[in-house]
Amino acid sequence: MAVDLISALKDSLQEYRSETFVDNLWASIVKTATECSIAFQSAEKKRSQKVSSRLGGSVITSTWGQRKCNDGDKDAFRKTIFYPIVDTIDRRFSKDNCDIMRGIQALNSKSKTFLQEAAVFRLGEIYASDSEDLALFIQETLFAGGDVFELLQWQCQGFLAPSNSTRKVSEKVGGAEGTKLDDDFKEMEKKVDTTSRAVLDIMTKTTEYLQPNPASRAKLSMINTMSKIRGQEKGPGYPQAETILGEAMLKFGRDLGEESCFGLALIDAGEAMKELGEVKDALDMEVKQNFIDPLQNLHDKDLKEIQHHLKKMEGRRLDFDYKKKRQGKVQDDEIKQALEKFDESKEIAEQSMFNLLESDIEQVSQLAALVQAQLEYHSRSSEILQQLSSKMEDRIKEVSGKPRKEYTPKPKMTLELLPPSESHNGGIHSTKSPGKSPAPMDQPCCRALYDFEPENEGELGFKEGDIITLTNQIDENWYEGMINGQSGFFPINYVDILVPLPH
């Protein structure tokens, strides 16, 4: 009843989306009010009532029928306020959701639509259930009689989320004992179930072993998904932690230069780390191709096929038990045919389980491939690290054999007061050193307080103590200047002004 009411309401609400429905309604109200001599008058402005913050999300402060008060648009309604309500109803009472509710209603023994095939089959279709299983479910439930509610609980678990619980249901039907399976069959089924759970869990744990960082696994999964969407057979990959560390070492090693022993050692270590990253990539690829992919194939094909055969066999067993218990009301040929179908399905399921368990040498070979990939990875990693260790020892010996340099202090800086025409506050000068350009005191200039390495195009690099000719002030943070025939920009706080730019 509720679903039918909602369906009718949705049809009516969709009319409210039209641009003329409410306007026509308002025009009709105006016409009626005019004919009845009813005066229109704006409501007196009242003090707005404060709503508790706890109830803010539940209070409706405006309605679809409220009229706009703008002078330029007096006859318009705020129709858009009602649109979210229509959208919410559409979403919550979509066709699938309504079919699910009707299907659940059809599972209620007190409902008028109890076990109505159309409703139950539609529910099963949504949950990807087998039509044969649903037919048997309806058949057995009707046969069960008084114990309907308990049987429904068990059977719903069976066809909405197939599991071994369906067997327990069959043995409740009519209070009689169902057809038993032999111990060998049960043992094989138990081993297959354990194999299935082992394959799923080991695949997950192997992926975690290869990429322990959950964020890395998530990003790698996203990259692989995007590659499949773009039609790429192989994704661009994800940088290993060793590769990222190696690139950082190489960068700072080059920045320190060849004169730095630490810089050279960083370059050695960085190259080794990048090699380790490549070896880790090879491990990931080897394990995926020779271990994870075969297990995934086993799960998606062989194990899934066995589960299908077992499910079909179970359905035919229930059908045979149902007809056998109605012996006398059901023809013997029907019972015999049901038994033949059950035996046929049992043999197929038994054969498929036997083949899987007897071919477990394949899984052993796949596990051996995992071990071999790990052995190769650790062997190659050990070789790389041993070579790096030897290089580090050589670096230590090389540095230890070099004569130690003595620190030579630079000449102390002296304070010279310049004439007012040349400087407002005076300047600090040091004794001239070879290689430094002389101070061009006849034009705006400054002295570098620190080394400045340009990082962007257009910037001017210099060393501490250099005299730079000022040509322009770009803004409050940057000057433009020239040194040794090169011009560019540099930060103001890196220099001391000797002769300021003219205002």
One-letter-per-residue 3-state SS of 319-384: HHHHHHHCECCECHHHHHHHHHHHHHHHHHHHHHHHHHHHCCHHHHHHHHHHHHHHHHHHHHHHHH
pLDDT at site 443: 86
Cβ atoms of residues 439 and 498 within 8 Å: yes
Q: Which residue has the higher pLDDT, 215 or 103?
A: 103
Least confident of 11-15, 70-74, 83-87, 243-247: 70-74
Q: Which residue has the higher pLDDT, 454 or 50?
A: 454
Residue 201 is encoded by which pair of tokens?
Answer: 């869990």
Residue 329 is encoded by which pair of tokens?
Answer: 């009301």
pLDDT at site 80: 59
Mean pLDDT, the chain, integer:
75
Does position 166 have pLDDT exceeding 60, yes or no?
A: no
List the beta bridge partners of residue 486.
483
Q: What is the pLDDT of residues 106-161, one digit of tens each?
A: 777 777 888 777 777 777 777 665 555 556 556 555 555 444 444 444 445 444 44
pLDDT at site 485: 83
pLDDT at site 260: 87
pLDDT at site 430: 47
Q: What is the pLDDT of residues 384-402, one digit of tens each?
A: 999 999 999 998 988 887 7
Tell me if residue 55 falls in helix, strand or coil.
coil
CB-based contacts of 207, cutoff 8 Å, min separation 6: 217, 292
Query: Amino acid identity of 152?
Result: L
CA distance linking residue 424 with residue 488, whole number of Å: 26
The pLDDT confidence band at residue 269, using thresholds 50, 70 and 90, is very high
List the beta bridge partners of residue 186.
none
CB-based contacts of 298, cutoff 8 Å, min separation 6: 199, 362, 363
Percent of the chain exceeding pLDDT 90 equals 32
CA distance linking residue 81 with residue 71, whole number of Å: 20
pLDDT at site 169: 46
Does position 6 have pLDDT exceeding 80, yes or no?
A: no
Residues 80-92: what's their mean pLDDT?
64
Least confident of 96-105, 272-281, 459-468, 478-487: 96-105
CA distance linking residue 395 with residue 40, whole number of Å: 97
pLDDT at site 163: 40
Does position 21 have pLDDT exceeding 90, yes or no?
A: no
pLDDT at site 440: 55
Percent of the chain exceeding pLDDT 70 equals 62
The pLDDT confidence band at residue 162, using thresholds 50, 70 and 90, is very low
CA distance linking residue 129 with residue 216, whole number of Å: 36
- Greatest CA separation for the chain: 129
pLDDT at site 121: 75
The pLDDT confidence band at residue 165, using thresholds 50, 70 and 90, is very low
CB-based contacts of 271, cutoff 8 Å, min separation 6: 246, 250
Does position 101 have pLDDT exceeding 90, yes or no?
A: no
What are the φ/ψ torsions at residue 366 (nearest 5 degrees)? -65, -40
CA distance linking residue 470 with residue 241, whole number of Å: 47
CA distance linking residue 371 with residue 287, whole number of Å: 9
Does position 416 have pLDDT exceeding 70, yes or no?
A: no
Q: What is the pLDDT of residues 315-367, one digit of tens each?
A: 888 888 888 888 888 888 888 998 999 999 999 999 999 999 998 899 999 99
Q: How far is CA 496 from CA 47, 419, 470, 502, in A?
A: 65, 17, 11, 16
The pLDDT confidence band at residue 215, using thresholds 50, 70 and 90, is low
The pLDDT confidence band at residue 371, using thresholds 50, 70 and 90, is very high
pLDDT at site 207: 85
Listed ranges 60-64, 94-98, 245-249; the one with the highest mean pLDDT:
245-249
Q: Backbone dihedral region of 372: left (phi > 0), alpha (psi from -120 to 50 degrees) or beta? A: alpha
pLDDT at site 202: 92
- Crossing angle (nearest 10°) for helices 261-287 and 241-256: 160
pLDDT at site 373: 95
Does position 462 have pLDDT exceeding 80, yes or no?
A: yes
**What's the Rg (C-alpha) of the chain?**
42
Residue 45 is encoded by which pair of tokens?
Answer: 């402005």
The pLDDT confidence band at residue 65, using thresholds 50, 70 and 90, is very low
Query: Within the chain, how many helices (H) and strands (E) appear?
Result: 16, 7
pLDDT at site 286: 92
Instruction: Name all domains of the chain by residue range, CATH numbers in brackets.
Output: 2-40+62-92 (no CATH), 95-177 (no CATH), 188-234+280-399 (1.20.1270.60), 414-499 (2.30.30.40)
Quick one: 495 exposed, middle or buried, by C-beta within 10 A (0-12, 13-18, 19+)?
buried
